[in-house]
DNA sequence: ATTATCTATAGATCTATAGATAATGC
DNA sequence: ATTATCTATAGATCTATAGATAATGC
């Protein structure tokens, strides 16, 4: 009986016309999930997974406590989901850069600069990245393989000189994380860590380019060339909106 | 009245003869504190400060629960104490190296190699170092200022070429932490992170020297010179025994 | 006598679930 | 009718302390 009514009433008029016709209900569901993810990011970026209670997350998300378990099995589960979201959108961005730009050295520089700029625009993203950057599995699943690939391309093209490629990747990974750490601390005007940060803060605006230039030097470019490549205009890349950013109104 | 008795009874006979005359009681006290510190290091290196319960620490230290509060006010307090111990002994080691070695490039290489070797010998020390390496205050209080000083020396001596010294320090700090992370993962034959780690594991024994060589390249030494300096024999340094190592028997 | 240690426990916090309520789709 | 959400709560865990016991120094 129920089946026949469903059949008769399907495809109402005003729906297929314009929007992708996402059922109102599932959109709501997705939004609640994103609220939880964003709240978790905000809290865990500062205090780490262990330092945050599920209760805090639901309160920050302004959602009933039990609702949490409609979306995630545990604190580990939501943390894993965060890691996935962060790495996926990050990886997608770097892939876009690699597509758009010809010169391998410029691809590398743009990737570094993109990372640092984004860390400045979204400090929570940056803090979280630093926090999980040395966690388990990141070497295989994260950005290291991608970077290894990009560096190989550069070496093959005669653009980079690197005697020890794997170790170079390790070094670059750490250097970038270290710069992200510094950058987010500068952005926050963080308590402590004056003295030193003030040294770098000379032209804080330039830290992405400065970092890129230093690392291009590591890859064998000479000083002037490195400085030049690090300042080329960045390609504009269009990312699909992240689940982790505030929802645009409208 | 109390004062006079103290004066009369001081300096008993059998004590000043041989040993440093540490009262048996205070030695015991020191040992208990070290047991707690070592247990905390073991647990917190893996799971971080928040992920460990005081109860676990006292159980691992084989000490009554309440005893904890005779030594530390809170979990934060024992964590802070750990950070101090780690940084102090680390800093002392690097200072010794800087004293013993003439060539600034060699000082730098030896410091990097020492760090990685120690991380391999004491994986807990290494994991903990990685964990706090991007924490608050480390830039001012930690090793960054020392490294900045060493690099300046090298630049002044014409041994290093670095256009952007602060950013170079940031990069080197991250690269070393990244290598320590890799190194401890290799040592543990950690779950996950194969694939990539296997790449580096080619000659895992050499990671300290390989890391030093790559970073000497970053500092402007040419390839052959870097490889040569990174392999010079290390100075032998004698450290005061750490509170964090297992107590030698006898 | 003094001091460190242990055991026991009160109170707080946190997780996971069950059952009630509200919102949506048909 | 179905599904998401909320409130309430039981049980587990954890912290901090109080009071009892053991060990040391004089």
Question: Is the pLDDT score of A43 beyond 80?
Answer: yes
Confidence at residue A197, expressed as pLDDT on a 0 to 100 scale: 66
Q: What is the DSSP string of A155-190?
A: HHTTS---S-HHHHHHHHHHHHHHHHHHHHHHHHT-
Question: Is the pLDDT score of B16 beyond 80?
Answer: no
Number of residue pairs across A and B with CB atoms under 8 Å?
Answer: 163
3-state secondary structure of B202: helix
CA(B25)–C1'(D23) in Å? 9
Q: pTM (2 decimals)?
A: 0.89
For the segment A106-151, what is each residue's pLDDT rounded down to a tens digit? 999 999 999 999 999 999 999 999 999 999 888 877 788 889 999 9
For the segment B52-66, what is each residue's pLDDT rounded down to a tens digit? 999 999 999 999 999
Is A123:A186 a contact under the CB 8 Å cutoff?
no
Residue position matching structure tokens 């990974």: A173
Which chain A residues contact residue B148 at CB under 8 A?
A: 196, 199
Confidence at residue B143, expressed as pLDDT on a 0 to 100 scale: 83
3-state secondary structure of B168: helix
Q: Is B217 exposed, middle or buried (0-12, 13-18, 19+ CB in 10 A)?
A: buried
For the segment B137-155, what is each residue's pLDDT rounded down to a tens digit? 888 777 888 899 999 999 9
Q: What is the DSSP string of A20-80?
A: ----HHHHHHHHHHHHHHHHHHHHHHHHTTTT--HHHHHHHTT--GGGHHHH-SSHHHHHH
B243 vs A179: CA distance, rounded Å: 32
Q: What is the mean pLDDT of chain A?
A: 86
Which residues have CB under 8 Å from B13's CB, separation 6+?
Answer: none
Category of B90 on φ-ψ map: left (φ > 0), alpha (ψ -120 to 50) or beta: alpha
B113 vs B208: CA distance, rounded Å: 5
State percent of chain A over pLDDT 70. Answer: 83
CB-CB under 8 Å, B176 with A174: yes
Question: Is the pLDDT score of B101 beyond 70?
Answer: yes
CB-CB under 8 Å, A215 with B137: no
| Average pLDDT over every residue of B163-184 | 95
The answer to which of A210-219, B18-27, B92-101, B199-208 has the lowest mean pLDDT is B18-27
CB-CB under 8 Å, A191 with B174: no
CA(B75)–C1'(D17) in Å? 16
A114 vs A11: CA distance, rounded Å: 44
Structure tokens, B143: 């090793």
**B60 CB below 7 A from strand C atoms:** no
Mutate: best of A205, A217, A219, partner B, most B CBs <10 A: A217
Among candidate residues B94, B59, B100, B57, the one with its CA nearest the CA of residue B76: B57
CA(B72)–C1'(D18) in Å? 18
Distances (CA, A) of B107 to A34, B42, B161, B217, B228: 50, 30, 16, 15, 13
3-state secondary structure of A27: helix
* CA-based nearest residue in chain B for residue A148: B196
| Average pLDDT over every residue of B91-119 | 96
| Average pLDDT over every residue of A170-175 | 97
Which chain B residues contact residue A138 at CB under 8 A?
A: 193
Structure tokens, B46: 């893996």
Question: Is the pLDDT score of B7 beyond 80?
Answer: no
């Amino acid at each position: 009986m129920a089946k026949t009514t469903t059949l008769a009433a399907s495809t109402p008029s005003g729906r297929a016309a314009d929007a992708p016709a996402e059922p109102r209900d599932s959109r709501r569901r997705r939004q609640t999930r994103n609220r939880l993810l964003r709240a978790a990011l905000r809290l865990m970026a500062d205090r780490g997974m262990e330092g945050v209670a599920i209760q805090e997350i639901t309160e920050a998300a302004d959602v009933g406590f039990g609702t949490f378990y409609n979306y995630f099995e545990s604190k580990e589960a939501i943390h894993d989901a965060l890691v996935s979201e962060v790495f996926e959108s990050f990886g997608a961005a770097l892939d876009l850069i690699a597509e758009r730009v010809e010169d391998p050295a410029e691809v590398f520089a743009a990737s570094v600069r993109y990372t640092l700029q984004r860390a400045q625009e979204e400090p929570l993203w940056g803090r979280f990245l630093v926090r999980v950057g040395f966690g388990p599995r990141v070497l295989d699943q994260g950005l290291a393989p991608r970077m290894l690939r990009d560096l190989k391309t550069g070496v093959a093209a005669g653009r980079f000189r690197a005697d020890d490629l794997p170790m170079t990747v390790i070094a670059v990974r750490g250097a970038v994380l270290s710069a992200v750490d510094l950058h987010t601390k500068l952005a926050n005007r963080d308590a402590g860590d004056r003295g030193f940060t003030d040294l770098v803060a000379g032209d804080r605006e330039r830290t992405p380019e400065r970092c890129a230039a230093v690392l291009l030097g590591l890859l064998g470019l000479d000083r002037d060339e490195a400085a030049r490549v690090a300042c080329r205009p960045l390609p504009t890349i269009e990312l699909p909106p992240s689940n982790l950013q505030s929802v645009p109104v409208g």
